[in-house]
Chains A and B, each alone.
Chain A
Amino acid sequence: MTAAAQPPRIPSDDRLKWALREALFAGLISFGMFVLYVGLETTQNIRNQLVLNQRWGLLAILVAIAVVGRFLIVYFIGPWFAARKAAKAAKTEVPTQSLLRRNIGWIALLALLVFPMAMVWLVGPQKSLKWVDNYGVQILIYVMLAWGLNIVVGLAGLLDLGYVAFYAVGAYSYALLSLYFGLSFWTLLPLAGILAAFWGIILGFPVLRLRGDYLAVVTLAFGEIIRLVLINWTDVTQGTFGVSGVPKASIFGIWSFEVGADNNFAKAFGLRQSSAYYKIFLFYVILAMCAVTAVVTIRLRNMPIGRAWEALREDEIACRSLGINTVTTKLTAFSIGAMFGGFAGAFFAARQGFISPESFTFHESAIILAVVVLGGMGSLFGIAVAAIVMIGGTELLREMHFLKTIFGPDFTPELYRMLIFGLAMVIVMVLKPRGLVSVRNPTAFLHERKAVSSAFTKEGHG
């Protein structure tokens, strides 16, 4: 079924002739290919004799499929695709989106809400652990981190390579304060956010006058400084040994997930002891935290401060001449972004029960940033998809035991995680240089809502 590449525009008369000829060729070729394999079948009968079955009917069907299929493709589908492509190229604006696409956020939320239950129901509480925790919670942590970083990088355009520092501040705030002072998760969660935000401002001040590369280098250093402090301040942080026995989060102090506790959740409800409940609870907690992050980001984008962030990303000097205080604008971006990092950190500590500086290396910052960039800076939905693909994808690799049968028993897929991560990034960036979802929705409208595709702005701008 060979055909020369379809010329772009052919009058329909010629196209019919051409399509018929193509179909005839397809028929002949498929007949030639299938006549021996399909038309004649060899089997053995009971006495082990070779029997030749003739299946002309089946052959006819296959040939007919080839003929009709080729005809349809050449005559209808090809031109339709070409027309669509042309129409897309001609349009300057993305059309109003379909119902499904407009409500995709709600649909996703609904799916996420039933996800843990569905998993328990499908594979049982014990096996659901993997799906709810390794995939669900893990991915959602990165979604939250990436959304937090998105405020700094995607909206305000401040390249921050040390974001993991705030994640660490949040995690250590919770771990240490709960261990030393016995404060609960729900008291410490806001506190961790505030502390991280405070450190965001601390970082913000010295880098106020920096942009681009210089800013990136300084934030990178900041991330390392925080990590080195955690390693070396052994009296408090126990250095590289890390902090273990971090208390679990409770259901608002009513039910606990600590095994010995009187108000243990499983005991209170007469359930069998299982860590699944805690993981499911954590799933909903991080889901709620993500939801808050998303709502806050969307609201902020529509407020003067959010617009100021976006304007800042585009032109700082113009911003100032319009009366925008770029100092406070930058500091709020840093501190709000850091705050979400801090929340995520506290959650991380409560989930792991153990934290060490190992978890907060530059590598982590790089992954979060990669998710933001891959998602199409600024797009919450794109970032969530990127997190699912990148984090879920690498997690999935651990499962690919069948690869061992291909590459030999010594093959450990996990080792190739980063390779594949990198490969995926290169592919996405080649195919969609502005990230998975590269549409920026304007926040202001006079008449109707129109999305403007980023395809129409210069590459590398913003």
Chain B
Amino acid sequence: MNAQTPLLKVEGVETYYGAIRALAGVDVEVHRGEIVCLIGANGAGKSTLMMTICGQPQARQGRILFDGEDITRVPTHLIARKRIAQSPEGRRIFPRMTVYENLQMGASLDNQTYFKEDVEKIFTLFPRLKERQAQRGGTLSGGEQQMLSIGRALMARPKLLLLDEPSLGLAPLIVKQIFEAIKLLNQQEGLTVFIVEQNAFAALKLSGRGYVMVNGKVSMEGPSKELLANPEVRAAYLEGGHH
């Protein structure tokens, strides 16, 4: 594929939960090496978009192209095999398995081929996880679970990393750590990241471009700097303490 093809292209996607339309025609593009953020109010459909990209639930209308290939109707596990990894809303780590086993599950795709080297990388990125490796996932603190969820996603050697609210419920210092880790991965390894955030200020600082979602539709998009300066965005998502 030529370099101009976006890595991820979401075209007019509509997703339904029964009769409820959660996404009402969404268009999003993510290019290689970018960090793109998606902000929006509660219930706007951000998580739904993330899950729709992974095929659970599948879009009823529209198309999702990954690397130019239509993955709209592809089963979730096959989408994952195309190297789209997600740290989903609610983290969804395996509570009864140890930290180490959780990371192993992340490496299922390559049958643990690169496990040893990759796990060391994760441990340098999140030293907390190294200390806690024999502990059960369910007994980790919220921040540690978030690190584990991101770490597990990274173990799949993703081409595209989807992060759904990685800062949820975390202390500012930890948020900073995690965001720095994401930035580092993006700069050093060219990892492409699509990130959903409630913490709009931090997300727009981190990302190059951003989308604003309202009621299942993208209402605004552009370079993050412009969105940060946009009075509408400021009024809706940024007023209230972050600056």
Contact = CB atoms under 8 A, between A and B. Distances in A.
A443 interface: yes
Interface string A48-86: 000000000000000000000000000000000000000
Contacts of B101: 307, 442-444
A318 B95 contact: no
Given A304-B108, A320-B80, A322-B156, A461 B96 contact: yes
Interface string A308-321: 10110111011111
Interface of B: 54, 56, 75-78, 80-81, 85-86, 88, 92-98, 100-101, 104-106, 108-109, 111, 119, 133-136, 138-139, 152, 156
Given A304-B108, A325-B77, A442-B100, A318 B94 contact: yes
A121 B98 CA distance: 48
A181 interface: no
Of A322, A445, A454, chain B has the most CB atoms within 10 Å of the CB of A322
Given A314-B97, A458-B95, A320 B76 contact: yes
Contacts of A307: 101, 104-105, 108
Contacts of A92: 135
A457 interface: yes
25 contacts: A93-B134, A304-B108, A308-B108, A311-B94, A314-B95, A317-B88, A317-B92, A319-B77, A319-B105, A320-B56, A320-B80, A321-B56, A321-B80, A321-B86, A322-B156, A324-B77, A442-B98, A442-B101, A445-B134, A450-B134, A456-B139, A457-B139, A458-B95, A461-B138, A462-B96
A318 to B, nearest CB: 4
Nearest to B111: A304
Nearest to B133: A446
Contacts of A444: 98, 100-101, 104
Contacts of A440: 96
Contacts of A318: 88, 92-94
B100 A322 contact: no
B97 A442 contact: yes
Nearest to B137: A314
A48 to B, nearest CB: 75
Interface string A84-99: 0000000011000000
